Amino acid sequence: YYGSTSSAQPKAEHSLIGKLDKIIEELGLLEKVKDKHVLVKIHLGQNIGFTNIHPFITGYIVRKIKKAGGKPFLVDIFEQIEKAPLRGYTLETIGCPIYPVAGPKDQYYVEKEVNFKGLKVIQMGGLCKDADILLDLSHVKGHNTAGFGAALKNLALGCYTQKTRWGLHGTMQYDKYWFPEKCSDIKKTVDKFIKACPYGCIKYQDDKLRVEFNLCNQCMRCVKVDDEGCLKIQRSNFEAFFEGMAITTEFVLEHFDEDSRFFINIGLDITEYCDCWGFTTGNILPDIGILGSKDILAIDKATLDLLKDKPLIEENVSMSLEINNDPRLHPFARIHGPWKDPYLQIYYGKKYGLGNPDYELVEVLPPGERKSLSLPEPSFPEPLELDL
C-alpha cells in the first residue's frame, strides 16, 4: 500500500497522515494488537541529526495501537536512547516507553551461531524475543555501506548488540584483498594507494593494509596505480555486508509469525547518509510518501522502484562525494558505488527466504489529475510588479 505525497485536495483526510490511516487499515494492524506487546522498531538518530521519522508520525501510530488495546513500546540500539528527547522522542510525546533493544548495558540478547565470514555468533536484542507483534517503522535514506536503509536494514543492524553490528561490518574484511607477496616495494606501493584514494579509505598500520569498504565508492583509482596486482577491489568484500544483513534479519523475523509482522516505510527527508551518522544534510531525492506492507522485501523493493527514476538532487550531495552518471544505476548507487547497489538487499533477502519481492502497488487515496486541466482556459491577472 502506498500513500504518495500528491494529494487530491488540501484536506486532512487526503494528507500524508490521512493516507497513513488508510494504509494501517489496509494492513489490518489494529485488528491484531489487542492485549499484545507490540515492538515498534525505530531509528532514533543521534548527535545533531534531525531527519529521523518525525515524532508526530510515530506518536500517531502508537496512539492508534493503544486505542485498539495494544501495548506498544519503541526500541532502538542503546547508544541512541539517551538523546532521543532531543529529537522529540519521549514517553509523553510518543505515548509509550522507549527501550534499548538489548537492555541498558547491551547485555540482554539471544544468541545464534552463524559462522559467516568471521562472524561466529549474532546477538539479537532480547526485547525482539519478548514481543508478540513486530512493527518495523523505517525512515528511508541513503547508507554508505548498504546503499540505502529502510525496512531490512532497520532490523538487520538496529535489533542487534554493538558487538554484532561491528562484527557485521567486519565481514567485509574477510575475503583476502591485499597481496603483499606480489609487491616489489611495499612502502612505495602503499604510498601510491593512499595518494590515489579520494576518500582516505586505505590505511597501513602494523605492516597491514586495510581498505575501509564502508566509505569506498569503487572508483578503482587505487587499482589503476597498482601494476603488480597487489590489491583487489572485489564484489565479495562489499556483498558480505548485504548477505550478513539477510542473516541477521532472518533471525529477527523467525521470532514473529508472518501474520504478526508489519512494515511501514517513511519516504520523507531522504538524505545521503543514514540517521546514525548524526547529522542532517539536504535531501538528495524528492519525498515519495509512505508505504506499508506485510512483506519486508516487497516494501523495500517497492520503495527502491519508486525512487529509481527520481532525479538525484545533486546540489545536496556533499561536494566531497563523487556522482556517477551511469544511467543504469539506482540514484543511491550513483553516490555510494555500483557494488553497493541497494537492490542487493532484495537479492540476498530473497536468497534467505525473508519474503517475496514481487508486489502489486496499491495506491491509497490516489490524487487523480489536476482539476483545472478539465476547465476552460484561465485568465489570471498579470504578476505584480512591486517596487521593493
Q: Which residues bind ligand SF4 (CB under 6 A)?
A: 196-197, 199, 201-202, 211, 216-222, 233
Rounded to whole angstroms, how far apart are CA atoms 262 and 68?
Answer: 16
How many CA atoms lie less than 13 Å away from 199 in the CB half-sphere? 20
For helices 16-27 and 55-67, angle between their N-to-C axes, nearest 10 degrees: 40
Nearer to ligand SF4, 66 or 232 (CB): 232
Work out how close the CB of 215 gets to ligand SF4 at its nearest, in angstroms, rounded to a whole number: 7
CB of 230 to ligand SF4, least distance (A): 12
Q: Are 245 and 152 in contact (CB under 8 A)?
A: yes
1, 176, 205, 298, 370 from 357: Cα distances, Å: 14, 32, 43, 4, 32
Residue where the block lists cell 535531501: 283
Specify the long-range contacts of residues 78-82, CB closer than 8 Å, at least 24 apart: 78/102, 78/103, 78/104, 78/105, 78/106, 78/162, 79/46, 79/162, 80/43, 80/44, 80/45, 80/46, 80/276, 81/44
Count of Cβ atoms closer than 10 Å to residue 26 Cβ:
14
Query: Of the two residues 62 and 321, which places its CB atom closer to ligand SF4 in the complex?
Result: 321
Q: CB-wise, 48 or 220, nearer to ligand SF4?
A: 220
Residue whose CB is less far from ligand SF4, 220 or 361:
220
Give 107-151 as a DSSP string.
Answer: --EEEEEEEETTEEEEEEEHHHHH-SEEEEEEE-EEETTTEEESH
If the CB atoms of residues 80 and 217 are measured against ligand SF4, the closer one turns out to be 217
Q: Give the shortest CB-200-to-ligand SF4 separation in angstroms.
A: 8
Contact (Cβ atoms closer than 8 angstroms) between residue 7 and residue 369:
no
Q: What is the residue whose three cell numbers read 538523546?
A: 83
**Closer CB to ligand SF4, 163 or 232, in the complex:** 232
| Minimum CB–partner distance for residue 339 and ligand SF4 (Å) | 10
Name the residue nearer to ligand SF4 (CB basis): 257 or 322. 322
- Closest approach, Cβ 196 to ligand SF4, in A, equals 5
Nearest approach, Cβ of residue 223 and ligand SF4 (Å): 7
Least CB distance to ligand SF4 at residue 209 (A): 10
